Chain A
Amino acid sequence: AQSVAQPEDQVNVAEGNPLTVKCTYSVSGNPYLFWYVQYPNRGLQFLLKYITGDNLVKGSYGFEAEFNKSQTSFHLKKPSALVSDSALYFCAVRKGGSQGNLIFGKGTKLSVKP
């Protein structure tokens, strides 16, 4: 069965430091992977996706994600965190055999302190 896991409920980072939010997945076939961000009392916003090609994917707001097939991971990264990056981050994987249904992880709360 396809699944996605976010092993950390919360990540704390100091402003200006690099950040990593972890995601691992389990799918049959080629994975289609996504990151979304949710600011307080808002809907989810699409950040980036991996379909095929370069393992390093660049997205919105300076975020990037690294696809690692051998480790079945798709970690979200940013070289220098901002306080405004504080939000809830969701990793998702496309459900096989569907027209585009996504399976979401449980979310990781990122807190960036000044």
Chain B
Amino acid sequence: DVKVTQSSRYLVKRTGEKVFLECVQDMDHENMFWYRQDPGLGLRLIYFSYDVKMKEKGDIPEGYSVSREKKERFSLILESASTNQTSMYLCASSRPFQLEQYFGPGTRLTVT
């Protein structure tokens, strides 16, 4: 079974802090994705990566950056956390052109 793990299930940070969310997959997938999930808005794509050191902006990249130094690991960085970044963050992975994505359990981030 594909396993996608995220470093924290729950995280509480203060406004202005730098926040790192880590995602690791164990199936040698090339593609990795970061989404945020908010009630009534569904999932929105923040950033994605098709290969190591490669990154592309999704639909809502503002206020976020990412890092992919190793194939199995994709990090989401909030440079200066703000209260409007309070959300559930979901990581996913897939093979190139494999259509279904496999999701991690999510990190519920609260910024106070």
Contact = CB atoms under 8 A, between A and B. Distances in A.
Same assembly: yes
B42 A107 contact: yes
A17 interface: no
A46 B58 CA distance: 21
Interface stretch (A63-71, A73-81, A95-103): A95-103
A57 to B, nearest CB: 12
Interface of B: 4, 9, 31, 33, 35, 40-45, 48, 50, 58, 90, 92, 94, 96-106, 108
Contact of B98 (A9, A43, A44, A100): A100
Nearest to A34: B100
Given A99-B31, A101-B48, A106-B40, A43 B97 contact: no
Interface string A5-32: 0000100000000000000000000001
B99 A43 contact: no
Q: Which of the listed residues B31, B58, B98, B101 has the most CB atoms from chain A within 10 Å of its own CB?
A: B101
25 contacts: A32-B99, A41-B9, A41-B105, A42-B105, A43-B4, A43-B103, A44-B43, A44-B90, A44-B92, A44-B103, A45-B103, A46-B100, A90-B42, A90-B43, A99-B31, A99-B50, A100-B31, A100-B96, A100-B97, A101-B33, A101-B45, A101-B58, A104-B44, A106-B40, A106-B41
Nearest to A106: B42
Given A42-B105, A90-B42, A106-B42, A100 B94 contact: yes
Interface residues of A, number: 22
A7 B100 CA distance: 23
A36 B102 CA distance: 10
